[in-house]
Amino acid sequence: MTNKFVELLSSQTLLADGAMGTQLYEHGLFLNQCYDAANLTHPQLVQEIHEQYAEAGAEILETNTFGASRQKLTPYGFGDQVEAINRAGAAIARKVAGKTLFVAGAVGPLPLRLAPLGKVSAASACAAFTEQMRGLVAGGIDLFCLESFGLITEILAALEAAREVAPGLPVIAQMTVDENGYTSHGTPAEEFARALDQAGAEVIGVNCSVGPAPMLETIERIAAVTGRPLSAQPNAGLPRNVDDRLIYMSSPEYFAEYARNFVRAGVKIVGGCCGTGPAHIRAMRSAIRSLVPGRTTIHIEPREQLAGAATPPPLAARSALGAKLAAGRFVTSVEITPPRGADASGVLESCRTLKGAGIDIVNIPDGPRASARMGAQHLAILIERAVGIESCLHYTCRDRNLLAMQSDLLGLAALGIHNILIITGDPPKMGDYPDATAVFDIDSVGLTHLAAATNHGLDLGGNRIGPPTSFVIGVGANPGATNLDRELDHFRAKVEQGAEFAITQPVFDPQILLRFLDKIEPFRIPILAGIWPLVSLRNAEFMAHEVPGVIVPDVLVERMRVASARSKEAARDAGLAIAREALAAVKDRIDGVQVSAPFGRVELALPVIEAAADRL
């Protein structure tokens, strides 16, 4: 298994498990108990937690031995059972892992101050780690995971102990950092990464202390100074005090989003730390399934290098939307979710209402939040033919491989569907069918390039396909992205590849959108602001806490709380007022608006658009 582990790291990303302590606590073990001793006192519970992580898709199970050194066990009365607790912890994980999963012996820092900050020498620390590690090796581990270290000299002592006890076992060496990428002793990520690289750690990484967003920034800094495989195991954000309990608020969906970012940054081992559970690991499994490093990737050539490219049709000639964009006229759009069944009569009737109200286009999501609904392409054709209003088809990279995407685009062009909004798509774990396979051959940048290539009469390989298509190419934009710099880079890349307009995530705080507009000014394309009329407190809380990239200010959630306490009607009116206020605040800086129709109720969308009446 040891050689297999090292070999796999060269070709793919491995998924580690999540927190053990969090799960033990949730299963009734109080904080004043020795969690490591649960290997002896509650072995069945420890085994069940390992089994839950294995079922969620974890490929590396960490032993319940993070604090199983003599120095940490002694205050609980277990100081003389170091070998037994570590051996048992490894054996329990080994029983669950069998021969298919890897078992990592978890080793954390000592509760002592090492020199020069204290009186404990590195040699004494090495001896303490050696005692713990012998028990882990006896229990059958495949590798060591040194985690949550804050002092370089201490983790180097642990690494030395691992080499002494089991020279052939790989070592994952993980430090813990703050939001700025520094350890608790002020050591920058670059410095400890170089030290661990020089010491020969097989994997270098970070875990604990911070959530996914700041950890990603630290990982990128580490990647710049070492060629070693990287690991990342973030907390579920920062804990909040809820009824005197520390609750971690980051959702599994949020973790899934960042899992893909970690993989794209070159991380070879990704997992979770404090506050995470099997649900987070399950979501991450789906998100990274098709993003494993080492698989064939799509190389996007700059378009100017492709010979034989035709001149695209003028934007104004491609569609009514294209004509409005080309003329600089304000665009109005309403988003309607496809039906769950085969009956589209209700949607068609809503579209007739929108056409009668003078709305320009109907936006059609493609499997929103990874749910199974009528195909967006089919609904777009129905709407345009039965109602005569233009559609804007959302098209995702999630469900189709590269060949299917090229075929779809050509088919859509032949059927007269010209307006498309290109998005990467939500991972299946977020939806009704969490075990569905994600594809993601390319992301929204690559798909934008592909659509623009067909507008030049070429396929992705630069082969001529006949007359150019007439797509009006839209992309998504997330002004409230946790890592705004990354979002700006991603947005710029989409513009460079051919994006012609963008629709933002729902905007509740106008200042966030205005800041985003300022930053994209050098590569500005027409922007349609996404507006979502809230209908209830539950709706507001869902948007605030469970939709990545959407920021709902606390004052607005409280406003919906007060209104919802009065009546459903009051909540609806408050939601409409909030939406109208947001649009009114940004209407002079944007090129159009997309209003979502909550639960398909277009009558709630139309009053919002009236807030931009002077732009129509």
Q: What is the DSSP letter of 396?
A: E
Burial 585-610 (b: 16+ CB within 10 A, else e): bbbeebbbbbbbbbebebebbbebbe
- CB 525 within 8 Å of CB 501: yes
CB neighbourhood size of 511 (10 A): 12
Strand positions, DSSP E, 397-514? 419-423, 472-477, 501-506
Tracing tokens 């170089």 back to the chain, one arrives at: 194
Which range of 168-172, 339-343, 443-447 scores highest in mean pLDDT? It is 168-172
Q: Reduced to 3 states, what is the DSSP secondary structure of residue 353?
A: helix
Phi, psi of 111 (to 5 degrees): -85, 45
Q: How many residues does the chain have?
A: 616
Rounded distance between C-alpha atoms, residue 60 and residue 168, angstroms: 18
Residue from 366, 368, 449, 363 nearest 406 by CA: 449
State the Cα torsion 419-423-428-429 to the nearest 10°.
-140
The pair of three-digit structure tokens given for residue 467, joined into one six-digit string: 């007359």
Above 50 in pLDDT, residue 370? no
Q: In this structure, are residues 147 and 173 in contact, taking their beta carbons and an 8 Å threshold?
A: no
- At 296 the pLDDT is 36
d(CA 588, CA 585): 8
User: In the chain, where are the structural domains located?
Assistant: 2-288, 314-615
Q: Does domain 314-615 have CATH number 3.40.190.10?
A: no
Homologous superfamily in CATH for domain 2-288: Homocysteine-binding-like domain (3.20.20.330)
pLDDT in tens, 49-90: 999 999 999 999 999 999 999 999 999 999 999 999 999 999
The arithmetic mean of pLDDT across residues 124-149, rounded, is: 97
- CB–CB of 266/230 below 8 Å? yes
Burial (Cβ within 10 Å: 0-12, 13-18, ≥19) of residue 99:
exposed
pLDDT tier at 258, thresholds 50, 70, 90? confident
Q: Which two tokens stand for residue 364?
A: 């059609």
Q: Cα separation of 31 and 374, whole Å?
A: 49
Contacts of 480 (CB under 8 A, 6+ apart): 505, 507, 509, 512, 549, 550, 551
Q: What angle do CA 271, 276, 278 make, to 5 degrees?
A: 80
Three-class SS state of 93 = helix
DSSP SS3 for 115: coil
Q: Could you tell me what percent of the chain has a pLDDT over 70?
A: 90
Q: Are strands 390-396 and 419-423 parallel, antiparallel or unpaired?
A: parallel
pLDDT at 250: 59
CB 446 within 8 A of CB 433: no
Tokens of 148: 């949550």
Q: What is the mean pLDDT of residues 519-523?
A: 95
Structure tokens at 411: 């088919």
Percent of the chain with pLDDT over 90: 65
Q: Does the pLDDT at position 242 exceed 70?
A: no
CA dist 402 and 510 (Å) reads 37
Give the closest residue to 487 by CA, choosing from 567, 424, 564: 424
Contact 328, 315 (CB under 8 A): no
The answer, yes or no, to whether the previous bond of 312 is cis (omega within 30 of 0) is no
Strand partners, 60: 16, 102
pLDDT tens readout for residues 531-562: 999 999 988 987 887 676 789 999 999 999 99
Per-residue pLDDT, averaged over 155-162, amounts to 97
pLDDT in tens, 381-437: 999 999 999 999 999 877 777 788 889 999 999 999 999 999 887 554 443 334 444
Half-sphere exposure in the Cβ direction for 344 (13 Å, CA): 22
Q: Is 365 helix (H, G, I), strand (E, B) or coil?
A: coil
What was the pLDDT predicted at 1?
Answer: 58
Label residue 443 by pLDDT band (50, 70, 90). confident
Q: Which helix (H) or strand (E) holds 581?
A: helix 568-586
Q: Let me know if the fold of 2-288 is the same as that of 314-615.
A: yes
pLDDT beyond 80 at 611: yes
SS3 287: helix
* Average pLDDT across the chain, whole number: 88
Alpha-carbon gap, residue 45 to 27, rounded angstroms: 8
Got the DSSP string for 466-500?
A: SS----EEEEEE-TT-SSHHHHHHHHHHHHHTT--
Which tokens hold the place of 497?
A: 């590849």
| Cβ proximity of 431 and 372 under 8 Å | yes
φ/ψ of residue 596, rounded to 5: -75, 140
What is the token pair recorded at 268? 């070879």
Confidence of residue 293 (pLDDT cuts 50, 70, 90): very low
What lies within 8 Å, CB to CB, of 186 at 6+ separation is: none
Tell me the backbone φ, ψ of residue 229, rounded to 5 degrees.
-60, 145
Q: Which residue has the higher pLDDT, 529 or 541?
A: 529
Q: Which three-class secondary structure state does DSSP give residue 107?
A: strand
